[in-house]
């Protein structure tokens, strides 16, 4: 078992680990600007020894300035302590609800990312978009406004190996993931989140599970919005 690395844009790198035991890929993302990195999602603590050398081929942990945690769950924040142990200057961002839990567990101060707040990273701009009750009550997604990449956490996920970009239409794979796993606790809130994203300029969907998508973004939004489940 090993991480596969895909460069999504000049500044965005994807690290994908397929875990056969659960039939899912777990993706983390590194956003680079001026030699410094922002990490979106930490991955599980147990897989940190696999992830670290792949990240450090691109950016030393000591040069990671920020970590975004989309919600409180092992695959999103499990290895946060490992990163902080190496680089205590890392600034952590999460929703206010998630920040409270992270601060308690890791004994750190967490930046409370407000809805629509923009956090600058060199030439890049990362905007927090709150999507409560989409899989978890404390959830957010992150839009990088320069590359128009949406780090969508548990929205737009697919089962199976998620290395690289999708090479064909995978709308039905997304529907299968929703129906098979039941991971969305509220259809109402899921549709509200999709409506919220409709007004954004998105050129790449980068979910935590599954392949990234760089075409027909509006089509995916419309398809999921009309599903009845």
Q: Write the burial class of residue 129 (CB in 10 Å: 0-12 exposed, 13-18 middle, 19+ buried).
A: buried
Coil, helix or strand for 173? helix
Domain that holds residue 137: 4-225
Among 110, 95, 148, smallest CA distance to 126 is for: 148
Sequence-distant (6+) residues with CB within 8 A of 119 are 66, 93, 113, 125, 126, 127, 128
DSSP conformation class of 44: -
Beta strands in the chain (DSSP E): 4-7, 12-19, 24-33, 36-40, 64-68, 91-94, 111-112, 118-121, 124-130, 140-144, 149-153, 204-207
Please tell me whether the overall predicted TM-score, pTM, comes out greater than 0.85 for this model.
yes
In angstroms, the CA 190 to CA 188 distance is: 5
Sequence-distant (6+) residues with CB within 8 A of 16 are 3, 4, 5, 6, 25, 26, 27, 161, 162, 163, 164
Task: Please give the helix or strand (H or E) that residue 54 lies within, else none.
Answer: helix 48-56
- Give the pLDDT score at 156: 92
- Give the pLDDT score at 183: 83
- Give the pLDDT score at 225: 86
- Give the pLDDT score at 178: 86
Total structural domains in the chain? 1
Q: What is the largest CA-CA distance in the chain?
A: 46
β-pair partners for 24? 19, 160
Number of residues that this document lists for the chain: 229
Among 103, 114, 63, 58, smallest CA distance to 81 is for: 103
Average pLDDT across each block of 10 residues of the chain; the chain has 229 residues. List them in order. 96 97 96 96 98 98 98 95 97 96 94 97 95 88 97 93 92 90 84 92 96 95 86
CATH number at 123 reads 3.60.15.10
């Amino acid at each position: 078992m090993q991480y596969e690395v895909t460069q999504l844009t000049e500044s965005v790198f994807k690290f994908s680990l397929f875990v056969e035991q659960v039939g899912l890929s777990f993706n983390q993302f590194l956003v680079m600007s001026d030699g410094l990195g922002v990490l979106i999602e930490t991955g599980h603590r147990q897989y940190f020894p696999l992830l670290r050398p792949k990240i450090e081929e691109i950016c030393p942990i000591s040069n990671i300035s920020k970590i975004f945690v989309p919600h409180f769950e092992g695959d999103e924040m499990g290895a946060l302590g490992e990163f902080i142990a190496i680089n205590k200057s890392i600034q952590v961002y999460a929703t206010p609800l998630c920040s409270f839990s992270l601060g308690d567990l890791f004994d750190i101060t967490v930046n409370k990312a407000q809805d629509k707040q923009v956090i600058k990273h060199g030439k890049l701009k990362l905007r927090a978009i709150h999507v409560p009750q989409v899989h978890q009550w404390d959830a957010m997604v992150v839009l990088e406004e320069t590359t128009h990449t949406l780090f969508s956490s548990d929205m737009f996920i697919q089962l199976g190996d998620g290395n690289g970009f999708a090479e064909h239409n995978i709308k039905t794979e997304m529907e299968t993931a929703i129906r098979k796993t039941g991971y969305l606790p509220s259809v109402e809130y899921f549709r509200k989140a999709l409506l919220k994203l409709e007004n954004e300029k998105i050129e790449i969907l980068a979910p935590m599970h599954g392949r990234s998508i760089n075409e027909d973004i509006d089509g995916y939004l419309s398809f999921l919005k009309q599903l009845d489940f």
